[in-house]
Amino acid sequence: MAKRDYYEVLGIPRGASKDDIKKAYRKLAVQFHPDKNPGDSAAEEKFKEATEAYEILASDQKRQAYDQFGFAGVEGMAGGPGSGDFSSAFRDFDDIFGDFSGFFGSFFGGGGGSRTGSGRRRGGPARGADLRYDIQISFKDAVFGTKVEVSYTRGVSCDSCNGTGSEAGSGRKTCPTCQGAGQVRQSSGFFSIASVCPTCKGEGTVVENPCKKCRGTGTEKKSQRIKVTIPAGIEDGKRINIPGQGEAGPRGGEPGDLYVFIQVQPHEYYERDGNDVYCVIPVDMMQAALGTELFVPTLDDKKIKVKIEPGTQNGKMLRIKGEGVPHLHNSGKRGDLYIKVQVNIPQRLSARSKSLLEEVAKNEGQNASPSPIRLRDL
């Protein structure tokens, strides 16, 4: 069954705000909640479909990738198409659904531990944010792979307080606002709405004496350079995940990841379709009629002899096996090179050439009244 557009699933326009996305999802989740529809597999599937849509559209990074590349742009991301992982969507459930969040998280295997609305365990440090870096590479670098050095700025653990956020010798105390719960709750009709504690940001504790250098965050900004290996066969729009190279988590939390998005520049002569490559080779009218042999350059700058059979028609496709793009996860296997023959007809002829061609036409019995050809036979 074909997947539906995420905006269509939630019933919202593409320019919808985050609040509109959250409201639309809340309505659908309540309607198709498995607890309200016991044994109804159709309702369960609609609930999962809505949750997947929310997981993608509620994230700026995933929404941008989806808007630009569709389902392929979010493939492999947590909660992306077919992943079955909606854990990051459930980090927001305390804020959206209050007391129902624990049930929703356990229903999808999102973890039964106690978490605050910010996605961290109570009293535990938060994970750092993921970062995105876009690079352009040449067509050939995408085909054969390369290494690229990228420079960017990321948050790292503060070297003054070693990431604790506290001045030396000082520690943390229980948050006076939430009393260590990491969240505050308000009742609103049917729902008990929970939100992240504004004082401790969901951690349950606060720094007594914040570090002067990082102002209690435990992180500071620094420039970084790393080398990224681009595998052979990568396609335009794909991304490479580099674990642990995103923002450092506040107060010792694990770092996020760096996602490098690939933009492949078009080639002057070749076009790619999956692992196959296509190009056009011009031949003269007489070469096509009489046949000839040509040397065609390949992607790796080899010269391959190609035989043009006598009577070759304009648009004929010639196939050279194994001269296409290496498979992404098996560089020993390659696609094919397809050559389209373009027969060039001279626009001007000398009197001698015209006379010779007229003689050829006469000898071959030129048809002055050809019958039409059906388009489907071309």
Residue 97 pLDDT more than 60? no
Instruction: Note the pLDDT of residue 200.
Output: 81
Instruction: Note the pLDDT of residue 122.
Output: 44
pTM of the prediction?
Answer: 0.56
How sure is the predictor about 192, in pLDDT bands with cuts at 50, 70 and 90?
low
Distances (CA, A) of 172 to 159, 176, 212: 18, 12, 15
Lowest mean pLDDT among 76-80, 212-216, 232-236: 76-80
Instruction: Note the pLDDT of residue 247.
Output: 92
Tokens of 83: 């992943």
Instruction: Note the pLDDT of residue 307.
Output: 94
User: Tell me: the pLDDT tens digits for 144-190?
Assistant: 999 999 999 999 988 888 888 888 767 778 889 898 888 887 765 44
| Whether the Cβ atoms of residue 337 and residue 274 lie closer than 8 Å to each other | no
Average pLDDT of the chain is 81
Instruction: Note the pLDDT of residue 371.
Output: 66
Residue 377 pLDDT more than 90? no
Residue 243 pLDDT more than 70? yes
List, in order, residues 6 or more apart from 331 with CB less than 8 Å away: 145, 231, 232, 233
Tokens of 153: 């700025």
Separation of alpha carbons 276 and 173, rounded Å: 62
- Cα angle 11, 83, 8 (rounded to 5 degrees) comes to 10
Q: For the residues 279-307, what does the mean pLDDT come to?
A: 91
Higher pLDDT, 192 or 277: 277
The residues facing 241 across adjacent strands are 259
Q: Between helices 41-57 and 60-69, what is the axis angle to 10°?
A: 100
Distances (CA, A) of 227 to 45, 223, 278, 368: 42, 14, 31, 67
Higher pLDDT, 282 or 369: 282
CA dihedral 346, 351, 356, 361 (to 10 degrees): 70
Which one, of 312, 305, 316, lies nearest residue 289 by Cα?
312
Q: For the residues 26-51, what does the mean pLDDT come to?
A: 84
| Whether the Cβ atoms of residue 331 and residue 233 lie closer than 8 Å to each other | yes
Separation of alpha carbons 259 and 240, rounded Å: 6
List, in order, residues 6 or more apart from 300 with CB less than 8 Å away: 144
Q: Which domains does the chain have, with CATH numbers?
A: 1-113 (1.10.287.110), 271-366 (2.60.260.20)
Q: Which amino acid belongs to residue 42?
A: A
